[in-house]
C-alpha cells in the first residue's frame, strides 16, 4: 500500500504562496491524490484532488510530477484563516483503502 | 455546515459503560464512514457502509460495533472501551461507496474520553 509522508509543520506570512509537499513513493498506477484541510474542532474538508500533472480550482493548485511519487499543494496568497492542518491522502482505486498522511500544521503569521 | 451532523459533540464514559455515537447526513449520499483521529496520528478508517451494507472493517476491535439502519444514519455502539480509545471520532459521507475517489464530507466529530 502507498504510504504518504508530509512535513509536520510549516510557517508562512499573509500574502505569500505556500507549497506543501507530500511524498508517496510507492503509489500505484490507479491511485489518486487528494488533499483535505482541517480546522480545530472540525472534520476535514476536501480541497483538491488529482491524478497527474496539474489541477487547479478556486482555492488551490495541485502539482503532480510525471513519476507521481510526490505531490505539492499550492495555496496562493494565504491569509490568517488558512491556518489549519493539511492532509495528503492517497486513494487506492480498489478495495476501499484510504492512506492518510499525518498532516502538516500550517501557521500563517500577520 | 457540511450536511453531516454528529452527536454528541463530547462524551466522557467509564470503561464499563455502553454508549452510542450518532451520525446523520442530509446530502443524499450512498456511503458513510467512521474514522478515528488520535493525536499526532493519521486518520484511521474504521468502517465503511455502502447502501447500508458494511463493505469494509479495518480490523477494528469488537468493542466498537457499527450500525447503519438506512442511508442517512450511522451509529457507532461502544462498550467496555479502554483509555487508549479516547480520540476524536469522525463520521463522513460520500456520494459513492464504490468509488473511493469521491469527495467525502465530514461531520464535526465526537470527542470521546474514556476514564
Which percentage of chain B shows pLDDT scores above 90?
A: 73
A15-50 pLDDT, tens digit per residue, is: 999 999 999 888 888 788 999 999 988 999 999 999
- pLDDT for the residue numbered A75: 97
pLDDT tens for residues B28-84? 999 999 999 998 788 888 999 988 888 777 789 999 999 999 999 999 999 999 999
Identify the pLDDT of residue A96: 60
Q: Is residue B13 within 8 angstroms of chain A, CB to CB?
A: no
> What's residue B108's pLDDT?
95
Provide the grid cell at B110.
Answer: 465526537
Label residue B88 left, alpha or beta by phi (over 0 means left) and psi (-120 to 50 means alpha): beta
Q: Which of B46, B47, B56, B104 to mutate to test the interface with A (most CBs of A within 10 A)?
A: B104
* pLDDT band for position A1 (cuts 50, 70, 90): low
What whole-number distance in Å separates Cα of residue B24 and Cα of residue B34? 12
Residue of A nearest to B54 (CA): A96
Is the predicted pLDDT of residue A94 greater than 70, yes or no? no
**What local confidence, expressed as pLDDT, does residue A93 receive?**
59
Going along A1-110, which residue ranges are E strands? 9-13, 18-23, 32-38, 45-50, 53-56, 61-64, 70-75, 84-92, 97-100, 104-109
Q: Which three cell numbers stand for residue B39?
A: 493525536
**Burial degree of B65 (CB within 10 A; 0-12, 13-18, 19+):** middle
Cell digits for A60?
A: 488551490
Strand pairing partners for B37? Answer: B88
Per residue in B84-93, is it b (16+ CB within 10 Å) or e — as a string?
A: ebbbbbbbbb
Pairing of strands B110-114, B10-13: parallel
Strands A104-109 and A9-13: parallel
**Choice between A11 and B102, residue whose per-residue pLDDT is larger:** A11
Q: What is the pLDDT of residues A57-90, one digit of tens each?
A: 999 999 999 999 999 999 999 999 999 999 998 8
Residue A95's pLDDT is 60
Are residues A43 and B108, on separate chains, in Cβ contact within 8 Å?
A: yes
Residue A20 confidence (pLDDT): 97
Residue A89, number of CB atoms within 10 A of its CB = 23
The answer, yes or no, to whether the previous bond of B8 is cis (omega within 30 of 0) is yes
Mean pLDDT across chain B: 91
Q: Which of B41, B107, B108 lies nearest to residue A102, judging by beta carbons?
A: B41
Nearest to B100 among A43, A87, A98 (CB): A98
Q: Judge whether residue B89 has pLDDT over 90.
A: yes
Amino acid at each position: 500500500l502507498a504510504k504518504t509522508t508530509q512535513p509536520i509543520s510549516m510557517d508562512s506570512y499573509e500574502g505569500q504562496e505556500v507549497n506543501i509537499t507530500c511524498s508517496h513513493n510507492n503509489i500505484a498506477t490507479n491511485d489518486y491524490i487528494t488533499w483535505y484541510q482541517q480546522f480545530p474542532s472540525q472534520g476535514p474538508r476536501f480541497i483538491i484532488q488529482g491524478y497527474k500533472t496539474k489541477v487547479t480550482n478556486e482555492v488551490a493548485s495541485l502539482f503532480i510530477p510525471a513519476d507521481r511519487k510526490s505531490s505539492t499543494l499550492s495555496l496562493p496568497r494565504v491569509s490568517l484563516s488558512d491556518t489549519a492542518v493539511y492532509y495528503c491522502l492517497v486513494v487506492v482505486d480498489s478495495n476501499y483503502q484510504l492512506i492518510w498522511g499525518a498532516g502538516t500544521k500550517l501557521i500563517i503569521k500577520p | 455546515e457540511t450536511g453531516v451532523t454528529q452527536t454528541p459533540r463530547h462524551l466522557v464514559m467509564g470503561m464499563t459503560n455502553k454508549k452510542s455515537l450518532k451520525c446523520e447526513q442530509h446530502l443524499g449520499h450512498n456511503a458513510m464512514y467512521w474514522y478515528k483521529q488520535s493525536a499526532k496520528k493519521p486518520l484511521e478508517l474504521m468502517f465503511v457502509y455502502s447502501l447500508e451494507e458494511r463493505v469494509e472493517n479495518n480490523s477494528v476491535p469488537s468493542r466498537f460495533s457499527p450500525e447503519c439502519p438506512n442511508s442517512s444514519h450511522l451509529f457507532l455502539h461502544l462498550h467496555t472501551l479502554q483509555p487508549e480509545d479516547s480520540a476524536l471520532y469522525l463520521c463522513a459521507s460520500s456520494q459513492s461507496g464504490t468509488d473511493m475517489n469521491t469527495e467525502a464530507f465530514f461531520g464535526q466529530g465526537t470527542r470521546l474520553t474514556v476514564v
